[in-house]
Amino acid sequence: MNKEHSSVYAAYVVLLLFLANMSNYGQRMVISILLPEIKSEIALTDGQLGVLMGGGFALLYAIAGVPLARLADRRGRVKWLALALMFWSAATGLFGVARTFAQMLAARLALGAGESICIPTSHSLLGDCIRPENRPFALGVHSTGGVVGATLAMVLGGYLGTHLGWRQTLTLFAIAGLGLGLVILLSIREPARGEAHGSSSLPGSVPLRAVLGHLIALRSYVLVLVSVCFAMLVEYGLNQWLPSYYVRQFALPISSVGPRYGLAVALGGIPGSLLGAMLVTILTRRDIRWLVWFPAAMYVVAIPLGLSMLLAPNANIALTLNGLYSFAIFSTNGALWGACFVHVPPAMRATTSAVTLLVGGITGLALGPILVGGLSDAFAAHAGSHSLQTSLVAVECLAICVVVPLVFAGRCVARERGIHPSAEPAAAVRSAISS
């Protein structure tokens, strides 16, 4: 395959993985904009809604990720990604016909299990298709799919929910995902290990014990993982509840919240994710420590923006600040994932991604929406109609716990590069296995 054709095909792979991540986040987030209708029809409490958005989904999303990612590594990442996409789309369709909380919870559990394989397999495929110097940008583009998916969930989900109802909306999202899964299955070939590095001699699977031992020995990874956990706790707590917050705090109709909130996230998050990835790619060529310095700096900017957004006197100001907040937050995606993989050999990346999502999913994705919903119920007696606002402010303050570990991680990244100078060749994998 000539270089030009290879580059075009790599871009095509990035595009389809971008769309898979868009479906991943879109189907995950669409119920956020449909919550008022769901709550009205099924009569659920904020606590139950928090379980559906966080705990119910995140439980299997976190637990299933490691074994399924490792299975996909052995049996074919492209095939398993495509089948998982079709499976989680079917789960979204089942949620749309559910009549009870228990049925909805079962559908969200299935959704979590299916989506758990999306990011690990995508990261592994990107590692074998994209050269190391371009990987932060590719990871940023892939992460942008999540921003676009969340935006479509808000804008399209809000529009369809108003005109067709929440059940039909979920059915349409499910159908789109099923079609995309089929396209991926038929048009992407399984790449050889290390293909982007001009070598296909890398082992296809590394024992889990060896991967965990390698990661635990990397102090920079452990510190980045702590930051990722708090980042997921704060961001999933806020993002899942912000549509309901705008409805309650400013008495906006759902038909208005979906487009306005989605537009704010899109105008901030999409350029933030892309520009952040581009900037980090440039900066890390000068100093590898920018992989952790950059997200730390952006969270320092994001915290006051987030608090100002939640304390804004009217919806227009809040949504404007929401766009700026989204820019700062989503600009960190490529850097944070790059920091997770910087000293990780190719054959360990899918498992590393799954382990990261396992720990981050349990502590962040699962607890974030539940924490916000639980605090809102607890504050109701004292804060009244402002209980959700008070809860969101309290959770946003936890974002300082994202910054501190990243500052310390900067001291480790460069030093560990001397121990794991490339983390790319097969020798690095064999060394990790033998240790």
The residue type found at 36 is: P
Residue 127 · residue 139 · CB < 8 Å:
no
The model's pLDDT over 348-369, given as tens digits with 9 standing for 90+, comes to 877 888 888 888 877 777 788 7
Closest C-alpha among 136, 193, 197 to residue 336: 136
| 240 contacts: CB under 8 Å, gap ≥ 6 | 29, 32, 53, 54, 368, 369, 372
Closest C-alpha among 265, 135, 197, 202 to residue 433: 202
* Three-state SS at 286: coil
Per-residue pLDDT of the chain (435 residues; tens, 9 = 90+): 444 447 788 889 999 999 999 999 899 888 888 887 888 888 787 778 777 876 667 777 777 878 887 877 777 889 999 999 999 999 999 999 998 888 999 999 999 889 988 988 898 888 777 777 777 788 878 888 888 898 888 888 888 988 898 999 999 999 999 999 999 999 988 887 655 554 444 445 678 888 889 899 889 999 999 999 999 999 888 987 888 889 888 988 877 887 888 889 889 988 998 899 889 888 988 888 999 999 999 999 999 999 999 999 999 999 999 999 999 999 998 888 888 888 888 778 778 888 888 888 777 777 887 888 888 888 888 887 788 999 999 999 999 999 999 999 988 887 776 555 444 444 433 443 343
Closest C-alpha among 53, 188, 139, 170 to residue 344: 139
How much helix, strand and coil, in percent to the nearest 5, is found in the chain?
A: 85, 0, 15
DSSP assignment of 120-142:
HHHHHHHHHHS-GGGHHHHHHHH
Token reading at 426 = 């097969």
The model's pLDDT over 25-39, given as tens digits with 9 standing for 90+, comes to 899 888 888 887 888
Domains and CATH numbers, the chain: 3-188+204-434 (1.20.1250.20)
Cα(277)–Cα(267) distance, rounded to whole angstroms?
Answer: 16
Q: How many CB atoms lie within 10 A of CB 114?
A: 26
Cα(421)–Cα(428) distance, rounded to whole angstroms?
Answer: 9
DSSP annotation of 362: I
Name the H helices within 251-287: 254-284
